[in-house]
Amino acid sequence: MTIRLGIHPSVGRIFPPSLLQSMLSDAEATVDLTNERLDASESFTGLVTFGYDPSFLDAGLDWIHVVRAGYDEFPLETLRDHEITLSNSTGIHGDAVGEAVIGYLLQFARGLHRYRLHEPDHEWNPPAWDDTFTLDGESVCVVGLGTLGRGIARRADALGMSVSGVRRTPTPVDHVETRYGPQELLDAVSDVRFVVVAVPLTDRTEEMVGAEVLSAMRDDAYLVNVARGPVVDQSALVDALRSASIAGAALDVFEEEPLPPESPLWEMENVVVTPHAAAATEDYPNRIAALVHENSRRLAAGESLANRVV
């Protein structure tokens, strides 16, 4: 089977599409850059993309690969109806996101986010004796123990933290002392210093963290969201932060991205905002290229694709 692979311009939201094209020069496929909208006359077999466009459905594609783990904007049933296979890039972000989360936790524990805010005004503000703490001996609950969650748990455990987690199946997970089911979420978050959300966005997880969960957290606890924005009820989170019912939040994802300038989250000293960047790493293109290369080989050989969603 001859494969013609297209690289969509939306890949440029992460790295240059031409860079991926050069990395796939030895793939079992002809690799070309595409326009925003696809045309069936271009005869692409597969497409590598960040985002979705309705033109994909009628372009004669057999396969679409998403260069991120999330695929919630892709119409799965419609893709099935058009007999288009969808694969994603889950499994490659555990180390980058794990390290980013530890960075958030260290900022809050050591007060680093406050010192950074004081630099522009040349303010010398040592902390009060009880303003900072160490991660060693502290507790974290990781909600979602897939690739991201396991990467977070391993690093938190290495720093001496007590690690619990929430997942649908009771299977043991390395570096996690206590596991809860989704129905035990309130209990899971009730007595930990950090709650880290790392679940995919589904009908079940949308607004999983709302007012009830936030109210169940300790008033000295911090929320970290590296999942998807809609997993957390952002309005309820703002209310919890304003009322000091939780101590702070580190947020890499939001209900609307980019985060609108008028969002109150920008102005809160106890909130760390990052631009959906927790998975960013200079090695990202290499990891995507390896996945696409392997799936191109499998497609040509008639084998089942890795990370197949549809």
Beta strands in 102-243 (DSSP E): 139-143, 162-166, 178-180, 194-197, 222-225
Question: Whose structure tokens read 């180390």?
Answer: 95
Q: Which of 228, 255, 256, 267 is catalytic?
A: 228
CA 153, distance to chain mean position in Å, is: 15
| Closest CA relative to residue 271, chosen from 133, 155, 107, 143 | 107
In angstroms, what CA-CA distances link 120 with 116, 126, 296? 8, 16, 50
Question: Whose structure tokens read 């040509």?
Answer: 300
User: Could you confirm whether 65 is annotated as catalytic?
Assistant: no
User: Could you confirm whether 276 is annotated as catalytic?
Assistant: yes
User: Could you confirm whether 228 is annotated as catalytic?
Assistant: yes
Are 132 and 109 contacting, i.e. CB atoms less than 8 angstroms apart? yes
Q: Which of 123, 177, 184, 257 is catalytic?
A: 257
Question: Whose structure tokens read 């991926």?
Answer: 20
Q: Which of 276, 282, 287, 294 is catalytic?
A: 276
Q: Which two tokens stand for residue 54?
A: 């309705």
Report the catalytic residues.
Answer: 228, 257, 276
